[in-house]
Amino acid sequence: MRPTEILMQEHRVIEQVLDCLESITQRTLDGEDLDKKNANLAVDFFRNFADRCHHGKEEDCLFPLLEQKGFSPEQGPTGVMRHEHETGRRHVCGMADAIKSASTGDPSATASFVSHAQAFIPLLREHIQKEDHCLFQMADQTLSAEEQAQLLEAFAHAEHDSVSPGTHQKYLDVAADLAARYCVPCRVSTSNSDASPCGHIK
């Protein structure tokens, strides 16, 4: 499996939870109380699976390697992707703060949550499309077989160092549970850890 295939499989899980976040947001707009419990689960997923694990592998392993091959870190696609990661982080923080405020009865909190969610969802969906259909194709064409093998090993070390054992499966389970609650189709198998998008991590 190529490193970009691992990242693309992780994208499918992230899209699944984006669909759930969209459902949470739409129900809130339809007049229901903000589902703080499941909104918190989604935010935790985006912070740890999407950002710490997935974006971490991109920013710490893939992007520097591509920049060593001549991609500009400022003007090139990796710079654009980093900027969008940062924008997404701000929206995730905004959602987290809004959930906390909603728990204390702040009447403006729900509107703040919806605002950040409505900005975050299309941002991340478009970001994923750019990576799947542009950046990752460029990476596959640029990196040699040896470099791809080294990148796979770097992914394994990065994930092992950044999360505790079982964390990856935990968030696959969160994604599956949210999908079941909001009637969102599961995009990947979550039956066991070997089916995780980072199958090279045991």
How confident is the model over 98-154, as pLDDT tens digits?
999 999 999 999 999 999 999 999 999 999 999 999 999 999 999 999 999 999 999
Average pLDDT taken over every residue of the chain: 92
Q: In the chain, where are the structural domains located?
A: 3-192
Contact criterion met (CB below 8 Å) for 34 and 28 = yes
pLDDT at 189: 66
In the chain, the amino acid numbered 183 is: C
pLDDT at 59: 96
pLDDT at 197: 43
Inform me whether the pLDDT recorded for 193 exceeds 60: no
CATH class as words, domain 3-192: mainly alpha
Q: Angle between the 145-162 and 3-29 helix axes, to the nearest 10 degrees?
A: 50
Dist CA 161 CA 8 (whole Å): 21
The model's confidence at residue 160, banded by pLDDT at 50, 70 and 90, is confident
Helix (H, G, I), strand (E, B) or coil at 80: helix
> Max CA-CA distance within the chain?
56
The model's confidence at residue 161, banded by pLDDT at 50, 70 and 90, is confident
Dist CA 47 CA 171 (whole Å): 11
Dist CA 45 CA 23 (whole Å): 16
- The phi-psi region of residue 44 (left if phi > 0; otherwise alpha if psi is between -120 and 50; otherwise beta) is alpha
pLDDT at 124: 98
Collect all residues with Cβ–Cβ distance below 8 Å to 29 and sequence separation of at least 6.
Answer: 114
pLDDT at 199: 42
The model's confidence at residue 2, banded by pLDDT at 50, 70 and 90, is very high
Q: The tokens of 154 are what?
A: 């770097």
Inform me whether the pLDDT recorded for 195 exceeds 50: no
In this prediction, residues 65-93 reach a mean pLDDT of 96
